[in-house]
Structure 1
């Protein structure tokens, strides 16, 4: 232990000794949604947490407190670049410090077990090794900026259906080799200061009470010495949680800790020494981030300032995966371009749920290409809308919130950049308190972009009154038919009004909500609702016809297709992998009209592409963050090369090996064992649309040789194209003797290389000992599997170019 760390531990022990039982147990319970209480008697200031992982929202869920929005975690993993992940982390630490945040609730390192997982955009990959390496870079970056992380969700939170109660049944081997593996890698490589335990149960025990996985494996075997915080509202039992290794129960002010834990100690159900262990972990975190008086923080010299917009743009273009490029459709040749698709104008840059942040600007594909192409070269057509659901009021709305007391007197106001209110007790407008507030009115004007019928709706629970242009369309109580405590955040808006409006003519809008205490005590101080809107929808066939005419008149057609927040979001899983709306019909029609059709797929995780052989090029852009359009223009014009490789296999749902995400009688068996992702596709001899690791650039590479001594692999390759490029060298291990109980091959190492045209490059990567081990369930230990192995290097799990044999 270094001297600075020993000094911090001394300060922690001294502070702990000065706390009585009441203070200790209060420290283990959130004082509100995002923070732990200050304890002035020991020089401890309040420790603040915030959602991530693509930005730092801070304690306010509001568009008037903007944040940098990086590309989705699937995009970050698609770069296959640990250093780029580290730089993303450094930027997020910078953002956290700007917002007064000490701990970032990220990264998410659950696996893409099934393509139906609704929250996969927030996780990295189907492969545990790639996930662990990218996650380690991210954690090291954040913590190098003096901000803590909470690696989540420990463990097996790999789907959203019944996530609060599902009991996932997983073999010890699958747990060790797949689901625990990214956490283990990150603990070893990055020493995270925190971890977040999941809602779900594993093999009969809820994760916030899982003594074996938390105390024996995480803390015992791996030596994790950070804080274990519950997912929000996940802690259910005072004694079970503290004995299961849970340090902090969030959110507050009412949790299973606090006075309930103090009473459990007084009654003899819990030893005070057990409480002390949890408090010690919290104080250690406080010392590390610099909020405990007398303890020097881990980081005393901050990293250089990073330009957030520049880094967001770089990550996006490095993440784009070019999966098809026939007839060298990309980069774009000089000439005219027809840009098509609603998502080209109204970009979807991030996923729904707790990953949501509010950037100060969003560059759409239309914006980016307009700026990059010569004047007159670009035309635009809507073509097809991804969905028909309402979205939070944004463009064209000018709104403010007016708060009134019980007598109707105005007690406070605040400008609201979009139509969403998400306030807690510490985030009310000046002069407003939870005790005084009776109603909130979102009021202002809306200037339509299009003439026709506009639909307005309400997101939230409780009494509402909605008025448009002086007419009251709804006055009643809105209820939702589920018991999810986050319904007001994640559920779809309910349509409540339709009004004929004229483009360019502003109208008055008003949505009044009568504030009520939530039925869930842990969320009692939250006020969450939103005004939603959907513009006129023209006949889909007419829109497709217009798009076809535009495509036929242009040299190249670029079609942007996308998912929506009702397809990919926290809170629910996907029912299928199809693109919503008439987007497939649009692509086919455009492709028939123009052989140089390029399709941009704006989704956070796999979708089916039934037309992929009918188009010239397919580029996957994930959820590309706030600089989406600028990065897309860089890549389409050839100013930059698409640098991404698939972190997850893409294929049809019919062929996908693992599709069960819905529990039966509360249980979800992981019956596939260690065979998920590319391991399962190969075992079942199924051919995906695009394999794990696949991705094209704008140059060609020849793999010349591979040499390995069993501990390292050295790969030599040459850029045989006509321009400089970047290649992701992927190294796989394959046992020479087939073994039904093991995958045919698995990723063991990777590296990014760069070379100019005609230049060669050589890279040496380490082969981790763990790559040769399996978990022996009988012995309860890792065991090296001896024998001959084939070490292969190439461009994807199915495109392996060079090989060498080794004996282990």
Structure 2
């Protein structure tokens, strides 16, 4: 490729990797093994090696900017995608992400996240598909296929056991080899083995695995990923997740991100010259980078491409379908749902009139637009006048962002953001070096740059005018990674500077929200002013967290609501059956509660939400309760509900998707991709979650999620795989047979007939579980999900014969034999259970494995290792 090709956007030809390697100097080789900034790799123009752009993932393509970024399509969070059990839909969404990457000029997408939701408190749980490795890995394969169909490289992450946020860069995950293989590595194994083309990249996790950080773990990266699985793609660190020079390079970590490198400049050259790292090892790492460069050529994206939006009607339609298809109908006694659009509807609750479209952290992004459940319900009603709203209670952890409720001096929505190189104390007459018009009042400065700003120490002001619509007491909040003061009409309302507390904001480096209040008069204009200094101005000392640059600030505000009065007003309206025929209560979490950088302290809804739901149900037993969250919440009132819906962070179209299901335009088919415990103490990771003494013990071993509940006979609040429909189904005529051959090339042929026995068109999800033989040589879970299939658009009375084949014999029957360090498909009689919608809709049949065989490698890909370890036990 010519150096000019990348700049001009002209078609590029693949690099001759060995020729390039021969011509690279040692300095150039080392430079290629680290980024040059937050999102770009190093270019070598003289040899035609372009710079490659990476971007988060996993539920939308943010581009290169956390700060004031270009809006993007936000699809439902991965837990929501897990709930669809729909491989075709996930592949379509992956393709959409690939197209969004092209709009943002990104060659590599940092997703999907396929860590396991081993407990309900994980701060990033919403980013992962499921508690089950087969559901996670299979959907990840489809996601990667969709992304890579556009010439973009997908990056399954985080390898491995990054299943909590607490002390995530320091914690040692202690896990048995069997649990590691059967639960935590299996999604990655399936993503690599079942994708049409293996994902182009893998990302390592922050944590240690059995004593060694993942990014410098030779057994993980070399022995398993490279040698056993035969992976030839790029292995990249999580951002700031590289902790060594020689160890990481020797272990197989190809690329350190972001730049500028902490370990791969002069330090690596010194390690090479002192023979701690061999130059041929560096060459292997460089080959991976150059292969990645070649693999991105199919995208046609030039270097440093401009970032654009592609907000099309087709995008909106797909996002709306995905949002609706992810909604799980948990209860529907007396067929309360679907709602009637001609009836008068009261909508209430903390999540009704906000757009809970994504979780927090690196998955967050500015969306093209958002929709609220209230907006969706109004659009479905025959007339907006038939829909009324009352707040009832707040559900925010931090006050709602104030930016979109402010005006600039020239009347624009938003505020003026100014940057200074001096503090006000240093120079009362200081002049700003940059001025921006912004709307979001959350400003994470990781990637803010200006030529006159040198280093991480600088100062920011935010100025806007607020005009309240009601005369009331208003709360204002200021959250900072740095120091900040908040003024209203010159009066100091919040001091988050002279005395500060350590919090969890901005990936763990910031303060909690500090609040102040002031009485305001409706219609009067008030000047809002924030004076902020970046992270180096703070005296807070943080440990075991990643420091993402110079910090950030967040400004929030809202009218104060007395929770007792709010609930009383909601109950009064809900109980009035002469005024309202239907009542919908919207509660849940949001990106304040579920975010990268911290774990949830408990499983409960925000204060006031439970009380609101209980009181409304007591007054109106037929009220429909809608919960939005990325992971389970406590539902002590669930037995009292008659209609209960689990929605998620549903992306741009979250509100419309919820309304589509509530009014029956979409017949729900989604199933829970993770178990909802009755209480936090009921979940199997309860005694072994969070870092203690620098380690976390995976004490539940292979009994994660439903495997545990099945094994001990415990009944959770709602089971994995549960989900109802507005119609009914029946399965029959199950047929199971086993093909002959080597264990990894053998399959179980499974077919079944499915009938829609109800009166509505509907889709059915078939879950295929396998139970081990009673003669098993080790204790195993009573059943494990081994395949799934969504049967779409069955007409009332229609019967369809469905083939669930080929189901891999190796995947269906094997456990990890720690004595042989290999998978073992053990002889004996197994049982296939095909589970459909409904409490008694399960059909089962046995099959026999006639001899025990060991194997290694990837499912569905035979290698020499299988022949070497096959044999009768």
Same topology, TM > 0.5 = yes
SS in 2 for 1:384: coil
Change (3 A) 1:44 1:483: farther
Measured in 2, the distance between the counterparts of 1:674 and 1:608 equals: 24
Measured in 2, the distance between the counterparts of 1:465 and 1:592 equals: 44
Q: Is the Cα contact below 8 Å between 1:8 and 1:284 reproduced in 2? A: no
Within the candidate set 595, 598, 617, 1:569 is matched to: 595
Q: Is the Cα contact below 8 Å between 2:769 and 2:833 reproduced in 1? A: yes
Q: CA deviation at 1:491?
A: 4.6
Q: CA deviation at 1:474?
A: 5.0
Hey, what does 2:790 align to over in structure 1? 752
Answer yes or no: is 1:250 the counterpart of 2:257.
Answer: yes
Within the candidate set 314, 335, 343, 1:328 is matched to: 335
SS in 2 for 1:748: strand
In structure 2, stretches of 5+ residues that fail to align are: 1-11, 303-309, 407-413, 739-747, 850-873
Q: How does 1:182-197 map to 2 (within 5 A)?
A: 182-190=187-195, 191-197=198-204
Q: CA deviation at 1:140?
A: 0.9
Instruction: With the length of structure 2 as denominator, give the TM-score of the two structures.
Output: 0.86
Q: Is the Cα contact below 8 Å between 2:102 and 2:299 reproduced in 1? A: no
Answer yes or no: is 1:221 the counterpart of 2:228.
Answer: yes
Within the candidate set 342, 358, 371, 2:366 is matched to: 358
Within the candidate set 757, 762, 765, 1:728 is matched to: 765
Measured in 1, the distance between the counterparts of 2:217 and 2:503 equals: 25
Answer yes or no: is 1:177 the counterpart of 2:217.
Answer: no
Change (3 A) 1:367 1:304: closer
Q: CA deviation at 1:433?
A: 3.7
Q: Is the Cα contact below 8 Å between 2:63 and 2:69 reproduced in 1? A: no
Change (3 A) 1:291 1:275: farther
Measured in 1, the distance between the counterparts of 2:619 and 2:597 equals: 40
SS in 2 for 1:627: helix
Within the candidate set 723, 727, 735, 1:695 is matched to: 723
Answer yes or no: is 1:439 the counterpart of 2:459.
Answer: yes
Answer yes or no: is 1:465 the counterpart of 2:470.
Answer: no
Q: CA deviation at 1:514?
A: 3.1
Q: CA deviation at 1:451?
A: 3.1
Within the candidate set 375, 382, 394, 1:367 is matched to: 375
Measured in 2, the distance between the counterparts of 1:164 and 1:192 equals: 25
Hey, what does 1:403 align to over in structure 2? 419
Measured in 2, the distance between the counterparts of 1:82 and 1:361 equals: 26
Measured in 2, the distance between the counterparts of 1:440 and 1:409 equals: 11
Q: CA deviation at 1:273?
A: 0.8
Moved more, 661-670 or 731-740: 731-740
Measured in 2, the distance between the counterparts of 1:279 and 1:292 equals: 21
Within the candidate set 185, 195, 213, 1:206 is matched to: 213
Hey, what does 2:403 align to over in structure 1? 394
Hey, what does 2:755 align to over in structure 1? 718
Answer yes or no: is 1:791 the counterpart of 2:832.
Answer: yes
Change (3 A) 1:249 1:479: farther
Q: CA deviation at 1:637?
A: 1.1
Within the candidate set 443, 449, 454, 1:428 is matched to: 449
Measured in 1, the distance between the counterparts of 2:107 and 2:312 equals: 18
Hey, what does 1:532 align to over in structure 2? 555
Change (3 A) 1:140 1:241: same
Q: Is the Cα contact below 8 Å between 1:320 and 1:619 reproduced in 2? A: yes
Change (3 A) 1:482 1:163: farther
Within the candidate set 686, 695, 699, 2:714 is matched to: 686
Measured in 2, the distance between the counterparts of 1:609 and 1:718 equals: 33
Measured in 1, the distance between the counterparts of 2:32 and 2:500 equals: 34
Change (3 A) 1:388 1:153: closer
Change (3 A) 1:790 1:436: closer
Q: Is the Cα contact below 8 Å between 2:479 and 2:496 reproduced in 1? A: no
Within the candidate set 385, 394, 417, 2:439 is matched to: 417
Within the candidate set 113, 131, 137, 2:142 is matched to: 137
Measured in 2, the distance between the counterparts of 1:150 and 1:368 equals: 34
Change (3 A) 1:543 1:723: same
Q: CA deviation at 1:257?
A: 1.2
Structure 1 runs of 4+ with >6 Å offset: 7-10, 291-295, 303-306, 522-525
Instruction: With the length of structure 1 as denominator, give the TM-score of the two structures.
Output: 0.93
Change (3 A) 1:741 1:403: same
Q: Is the Cα contact below 8 Å between 2:162 and 2:206 reproduced in 1? A: yes
Hey, what does 2:744 align to over in structure 1? none
Hey, what does 2:112 align to over in structure 1? 107
Change (3 A) 1:604 1:627: same
Change (3 A) 1:151 1:488: closer
Q: CA deviation at 1:785?
A: 1.3
Measured in 2, the distance between the counterparts of 1:562 and 1:371 equals: 22
Moved more, 660-669 or 310-319: 660-669
SS in 2 for 1:392: coil
Q: CA deviation at 1:535?
A: 1.3
Within the candidate set 667, 674, 683, 1:656 is matched to: 683
Measured in 1, the distance between the counterparts of 2:839 and 2:264 equals: 51
Q: Is the Cα contact below 8 Å between 1:703 and 1:717 reproduced in 2? A: yes
Measured in 1, the distance between the counterparts of 2:104 and 2:696 equals: 40
Q: CA deviation at 1:685?
A: 1.1
Hey, what does 1:299 align to over in structure 2? none
Moved more, 7-16 or 278-287: 7-16
Measured in 2, the distance between the counterparts of 1:361 and 1:157 equals: 31
Q: Is the Cα contact below 8 Å between 1:341 and 1:561 reproduced in 2? A: yes
Q: Is the Cα contact below 8 Å between 1:174 and 1:674 reproduced in 2? A: yes
Hey, what does 1:638 align to over in structure 2? 664
Change (3 A) 1:266 1:79: same
SS in 2 for 1:273: helix
SS in 1 for 2:607: coil
Q: Is the Cα contact below 8 Å between 1:166 and 1:668 reproduced in 2? A: yes
Q: Is the Cα contact below 8 Å between 2:775 and 2:828 reproduced in 1? A: no
Q: CA deviation at 1:312?
A: 1.3
Hey, what does 2:282 align to over in structure 1? 275
Hey, what does 1:579 align to over in structure 2? 605
Measured in 2, the distance between the counterparts of 1:220 and 1:594 equals: 62
SS in 2 for 1:152: coil
Measured in 1, the distance between the counterparts of 2:838 and 2:282 equals: 48
Measured in 2, the distance between the counterparts of 1:525 and 1:788 equals: 54
Change (3 A) 1:580 1:638: same
SS in 1 for 2:587: strand
Within the candidate set 830, 846, 849, 1:805 is matched to: 846
Measured in 1, the distance between the counterparts of 2:683 and 2:752 equals: 32
Deviations 1:90-118 (CA, angstroms, capped at 9, x unpaired): 11111111111111111110101112222
Change (3 A) 1:500 1:204: same
In structure 1, stretches of 5+ residues that fail to align are: 1-6, 296-302
Q: CA deviation at 1:657?
A: 2.2
Moved more, 527-536 or 21-30: 527-536
Change (3 A) 1:524 1:233: closer
Hey, what does 1:384 align to over in structure 2? 393
Q: Is the Cα contact below 8 Å between 1:56 and 1:92 reproduced in 2? A: yes
Measured in 1, the distance between the counterparts of 2:386 and 2:570 equals: 16
Count of residues paired in the alignment:
793
Change (3 A) 1:436 1:727: closer
Change (3 A) 1:584 1:523: closer
Measured in 1, the distance between the counterparts of 2:671 and 2:333 equals: 18
Moved more, 372-381 or 337-346: 372-381
Hey, what does 1:545 align to over in structure 2? 568
Measured in 2, the distance between the counterparts of 1:246 and 1:235 equals: 9
CA RMSD of aligned residues (A): 2.7
Q: Is the Cα contact below 8 Å between 1:320 and 1:620 reproduced in 2? A: yes
Hey, what does 1:22 align to over in structure 2? 27
Hey, what does 2:346 align to over in structure 1? 338
